[in-house]
Structure 1
Amino acid sequence: MKIYCNELLSRSLILVGEIGGNDYNHALLAGKSIEQIQTYVPLVIAEISSTINELIELGAMTLVVPGNFPIGCLPIYLTKFQTSDINQYNSSTGCLNWLNKFAEYHNDQLQIELRQIQGLHPNVHIIYADYYNAVLPFYHSPDEFGFIGGTVEACCGCGGPYNYNSSAECGSIEASACENPAEFINWDGIHFTEAAYMWIAKDLLTGKFSIPSIGSYPCVFQRSDDL
């Protein structure tokens, strides 16, 4: 069975994560300072590294490791950290600068760790999925992607400038959904719509936001009656 699992993993494309998102989310929503949360980054990176190394030991040969999204653009955080200080926001996107800078910091540290792991396992294909830069164009040029309904507003919610209310979240009786979710980037305040994920997947699979390009590592998927 171990030999079979090793063989199966060796010809599979494995998506590792994304890991750590909820660790940051819970801390931010609990009111911890960004300085405190920044101390979590090495711990999160260590867990990602440990997971990758364990998968390699089990036979994995092609791993896609995603970074963090530009969380400063999410309605849940734009609502919680809403401020009259316009300097806190990116003038082009309306996203919170400090939260996006934190996501960039996490992603930079993750890529450093991935390069170290790659150096130790030169025969393994470790691909960084740049979720951050795959998503950011949606906010800079929403019309190009069909997002004409809203950028920083949630499709499903209960009013407010970002259509997000923690007391009446999407799914509650008070909340309602937009008529055409494909016109929105965000679904419920924290998750993207299917349309947004479609663009993310397309750009990753074509190699536009995968480092190195995911297309340079052919992966063979075969049906097994044992699965």
Structure 2
Amino acid sequence: MCEENGHVVEFEHGMNYAVAGATTLSSQLLVDEGIQNLMTNVSLEVQLRCFKQLLPSICGTASGNAIFVIQLPLTKFSNLIGHSLILVGEIGGNDYNFLIRGGKSIDEIKSLVPLVVKKIVSTINELIETGAQTLVVPGNLPLGCTADHLTTAQGSENEEYDPTTGCLNRINQLAEYHNQMLQKELNHIRDLHSNVNIIYADYFNAAMQIYRFPYKYGFTNGALKACCGGGGPFNYNSTAPCGYEYATMCDEPYTYVNWDGVHLTEATYKFMFEGLFQGPYTTPAFKSLCSLSSHVGVGISTY
């Protein structure tokens, strides 16, 4: 909530800058890597710029219909930002997804992980400079468990798969490599800004508990097959994705972990939420630092 000229503006449900298909790296950098089929040219840098440009319209000074963004110092909004919960991500997954679909090897993609993490870190530092005091930074999800990658990888050798979950080992190892590098950098930020709460959200393991024991959570249709899709062993077809004419939707989405081959179902996210905000999958423990009801949320992420 902020007050300007006697008028109170409330953002009880936060602001979300997510864009479908958004990447951490710029679209031009990915094009330079030979990736042409991007869903959007919106990167993390673009989302951050939009966030900064909108701040004056929340608590800024307007003249007629014009809001002078450049002339207003961002420190003017440090109180609002300092009392907000800022979610930076989950982002980075699309960078890797596009590279995998573009035929890049896991070793080639690993060489770009430091660039992805560096961009996330620079975004966090800019938000701190703006006045951010509490930031949640998620790691990547288990990318090797998605129906789209599993469909593409059909026919791979057995050793490519985790015998417990059926997920693709090398792609999940890529996600874990990203997460390990990100956590190392977050520790460095904590050392530099001891007054700022940097909360790492372990999306990977919050989701993996469900992939390992789907029936325990009521997912009687398993963890790997999509609810909505175009057929095949994993109900995923890139030429008939969810929402297209020839795609079909299951009758009981709450019994599926995967929604459309790429995203998870609402039921899955509910269990992940409980593990993150009430359980062990944040560092430090989220509930030890702040209350959900007392913060405004601001999200910069993928979708």
Scaled by the length of structure 1, what TM-score is found?
Answer: 0.94
For residues 135-193 of structure 1, give each alpha carbon's deviation from its aligned partner in whole angstroms, at most 9, with x where no partner exists: 00111111111111121100001211111011111111100000010100000000000
1:48 maps to 120
Any unmatched runs of 5+ in structure 1? 223-227
1:122 maps to 194
Within the candidate set 109, 114, 119, 1:37 is matched to 109
Paired residue secondary structure (1:153): coil
1:213 maps to 285
Paired residue secondary structure (1:65): strand
Measure the CA separation in 2 of the matches of 1:32 and 1:152. Answer: 23
Within the candidate set 47, 59, 62, 2:134 is matched to 62
2:100 maps to 28
Measure the CA separation in 1 of the matches of 2:94 and 2:156. Answer: 27
Please tell me whether residue 200 in structure 1 is matched to residue 272 in structure 2: yes
Measure the CA separation in 1 of the matches of 2:274 and 2:261. Answer: 23
Measure the CA separation in 2 of the matches of 1:207 and 1:143. Answer: 20
Paired residue secondary structure (2:235): coil
AA in 2 matched with 1:105: Y
**Kept in 1: contact 2:75–2:130 (CA 8 A):** no
Any unmatched runs of 5+ in structure 2? 1-59, 61-73, 297-303
Paired residue secondary structure (1:15): strand
Measure the CA separation in 2 of the matches of 1:22 and 1:73. Answer: 14
Q: Which moved more, 1:48-57 or 1:84-93?
A: 84-93
Please tell me whether residue 92 in structure 1 is matched to residue 164 in structure 2: yes
For residues 111-137 of structure 1, give each alpha carbon's deviation from its aligned partner in whole angstroms, at most 9, with x where no partner exists: 000000110000100000000000001
**Kept in 1: contact 2:227–2:256 (CA 8 A):** yes
Measure the CA separation in 2 of the matches of 1:221 and 1:107. Answer: 26
Within the candidate set 135, 143, 148, 1:71 is matched to 143
Measure the CA separation in 1 of the matches of 2:295 and 2:142. Answer: 32
**Aligned CA-pair RMSD:** 1.2
Structure 1 residue 3: Cα displacement: 4.7
Structure 1 residues 119, 167: CA separation in 2 closer, same or farther (over 3 Å shift)?
Answer: same
AA in 1 matched with 2:119: E
Measure the CA separation in 1 of the matches of 2:256 and 2:142. Answer: 16
Higher RCO structure (Cα 8 Å, ≥6 apart): 2
Q: Which moved more, 1:49-58 or 1:139-148?
A: 139-148
Indicate the structure (1 or 2) with the bigger Cα radius of gyration. 2
AA in 2 matched with 1:221: H
Paired residue secondary structure (2:224): strand
AA in 2 matched with 1:140: R
1:159 maps to 231
